[in-house]
Amino acid sequence: MREDYSILQIIANNSIVIYGTGYIATKLSELMALLGVQSRCYVVSNGHLENNLFCYKPVVEIKNYKQRENEIVLVAVGELYKAEIAENLEELQIEYYCVSEDDLKFLVRRINKISTDDFLTSVKPVSDMFGLDRGQPIDRYYIESFLKAECQNQNPELTLEVGDDSYSNLYFGQAEHEILDFSKGMDLTKTGSIKREAYDVFICTQTLNFIYDIRAAIQGCYDLLKKDGILLATVAGNISQISRYDMDRWGDYWRFTELSITRLFKEVFGDKVETRLYGNCMAATAFIQGLAVEDIDSKLLDKCDPDYSIVIGIVAVK
């Protein structure tokens, strides 16, 4: 496996064959085409040949593939399949490189370079995906900065997290974790849908913006915590685009200031509420344009201007 070159160097210095015919392979092919490069052919695992052509190029099973000189196979498949495919390619002594999500984002940044002049001449942002297609979204950088700082001194036995348990596993690996899954009927606004007084820590990131009955949701956060339990929540501040994906499915309702979110939480938690503000004018401009952390000097993100809040962190104790 070749690991000493960036994806751009690999594409520039080798004949390319892509392993896969799914979404990742399609995305990689599109990005390569913008760089003036095409895959000689596409390779799939034995027994998985469905079509003889993909992106107007031939598709062959791996047993029928013969690697040429100065040629490399770019494995463009989901993480679930990479290890098995890589092992097979190594057994066949085929030179390959596993394309990562970061590789694709790097190519997007390389192809769609930023010109600040465009900020004042174009009505379209650089990215309308919060920068997710280019790298780490700026709001996610702030969310993770908040959690890293606030989780250090906690030692919970049982945590709850919205959507998945990735942050619970990262910061509270020794604890038991449960997931608040809306698809299973768990709803912060509905009494009885979530266990009461059960959790030491509740991690609730970028969720409350999408709940219309915000007061009921905050009461739900309070009810599920044990006495002295801690809520670690983040919300979108006063500067953010609409999340079209959420708007079209369940709604994108709220943006908050420090004052509004503090008053809402103190109505339920009393005085045991603290807020943390994240953002500044530069960060807000970059965020609205859909730039990623990798596009800018990340040191500038850590300077806070309370008038340009992108993310607000909330620490509330029951």
Domain ranges of the chain: 7-111, 116-317
Return the closest-CA partner of residue 68 out of 38, 41, 29, 32.
Answer: 41
Same topology between domain 7-111 and domain 116-317:
yes
- Who contacts 90 (Cβ-Cβ below 8 Å, separation ≥6)? 1
Q: What is the pLDDT of residues 226-268, one digit of tens each?
A: 999 999 999 999 999 999 999 999 999 999 999 999 999 999 9
Task: Report residue 194 as tokens.
Answer: 């979530």
As to burial, measured by CB atoms within 10 angstroms (0-12 exposed, 13-18 middle, 19+ buried), residue 254 is middle
Place of tokens 């401009």: 285
Question: Domain 7-111 is in which class?
Answer: alpha beta
pLDDT score, position 114: 87
- How far apart are alpha carbons 87 and 214 in whole angstroms? 50
Examine the pLDDT at 4 and tell me if it is beyond 60. Answer: no
Q: Is the pLDDT of residue 105 over 70?
A: yes
First to last CA, the chain: 52
- Asked if 185 and 194 count as a contact pair (C-beta separation under 8 A), the reply is no
Instruction: Give the integer Cα–Cα distance in Å for 126 and 128.
Output: 7
Please write the tens of the pLDDT for every residue from 109-153. Answer: 989 888 888 888 889 999 999 999 999 999 999 999 999 999 988
- What pLDDT does 1 receive? 52
116-317 belongs to CATH 3.40.50.300: no
User: Quick one: three-class SS letters along the chain?
Assistant: CCCCCCHHHHHHHCEEEEECCCHHHHHHHHHHHHCCCCCCCEEECCCCCCCCEECCEEEEEHHHCCCCCCEEEEECCCHHHHHHHHHHHHHCCCCEEECCHHHHHHHHHHHCCCCHHHHHCCCCCCCCCCCCCCCCEHHHHHHHHHHHHHCCCCCCCEEEEECCCHHHHHHCCCCEEEEECHHHCCCCCCCCCCCCCCEEEEEEECCHHHCCCHHHHHHHHHHHEEEEEEEEEEEECCCCCCCHHHHCCCCCCCCCCHHHHHHHHHHHHCCCEEEEEECCHHHHHHHHCCCEHHHCCHHHHHCCCCCCCCEEEEEEEC
Of the chain, the percentage scoring pLDDT greater than 90 comes to 86
Q: How far is the C-alpha of 60 from the C-alpha of 318, rounded, in Å?
A: 61
Q: Is the pLDDT of residue 217 over 90?
A: yes
